[in-house]
């Protein structure tokens, strides 16, 4: 399978981690989005939304990281469904957390942190309020369970881990949310591919400091 990716992208790194968890080999194809490679005609033909990650599995093309995570688990995790259990209620909770990640947590990063990386401009108070609210909600989700959607690691943890770790680019104080901090320490230890994810975070931090 080909994965068009950039190491600075949290969604791309979540796909790399899930592939590691499944023992699936990816043919990584670097897409330099900073140079506009995603806008080249051949890539737009592949993915009209010209976004990464984009997965190509024997001619089947899929983008949007959370859709890719579920696809990979459903296709290649048949012997062990713990990352995305078949039970409807467990699966519904995982889906809810993935939608929270996409619509709330990742959006707070995109509005408050991403501009700091690209333009060096400080975030607005309003945008940081959204970050704090997102982390507060995540802290609440973790009050009763060790992982974000129940007692064991799932695709929701891996997706959320990728973006939570990226907040470290600006040294966001995760410790003010004790449940999140405890979860973060745990998932870093148990998630396959964490080292690759952290390399991407460090690359992004170095880019921010040098550009």
Catalytic residues: 9
DSSP letter, residue 124 = P
Structure tokens at 186: 């745990």
State CA 205 to chain mean position distance: 16
Peptide bond preceding 53: is omega within 30 degrees of 0, i.e. cis?
A: yes
Structure tokens at 112: 């408050």
| Adjacent-strand bridge partners of 4 | 29, 54
Inter-CA distances, 36 with 4, 24, 41, 96, Å: 13, 29, 11, 33
d(CA 176, CA 111): 21
Number of residues assigned to the chain: 211
Neighbours of 88 (CB within 10 A): 8
């Amino acid at each position: 399978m080909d994965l068009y990716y950039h190491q600075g992208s949290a969604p791309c790194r979540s796909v790399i981690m899930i592939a590691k968890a499944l023992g699936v080999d990816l043919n990584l194809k670097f897409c330099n989005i900073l140079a506009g490679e995603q806008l080249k005609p051949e890539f737009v033909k592949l993915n009209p939304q010209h976004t990464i990650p984009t997965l190509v599995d024997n001619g089947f093309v899929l983008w949007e990281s959370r859709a890719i995570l579920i696809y990979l688990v459903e296709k290649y995790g048949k012997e062990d469904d713990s990352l995305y259990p078949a039970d409807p209620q467990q699966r519904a909770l995982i889906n809810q957390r993935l939608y929270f990640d996409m619509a709330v947590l990742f959006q707070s990063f995109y509005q408050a942190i991403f501009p700091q990386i690209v333009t060096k401009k400080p975030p607005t108070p309003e945008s940081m309020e959204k970050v704090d609210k997102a982390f507060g909600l995540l802290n609440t989700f973790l009050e009763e369970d060790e992982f974000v959607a129940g007692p064991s690691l799932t695709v929701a943890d891996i997706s959320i881990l990728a973006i939570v770790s990226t907040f470290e680019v600006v040294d966001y104080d995760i410790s003010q949310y004790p449940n999140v901090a405890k979860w973060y320490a745990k998932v870093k230890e148990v998630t396959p591919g964490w080292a690759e994810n952290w390399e991407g975070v460090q690359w992004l931090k170095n880019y921010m400091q040098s550009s």
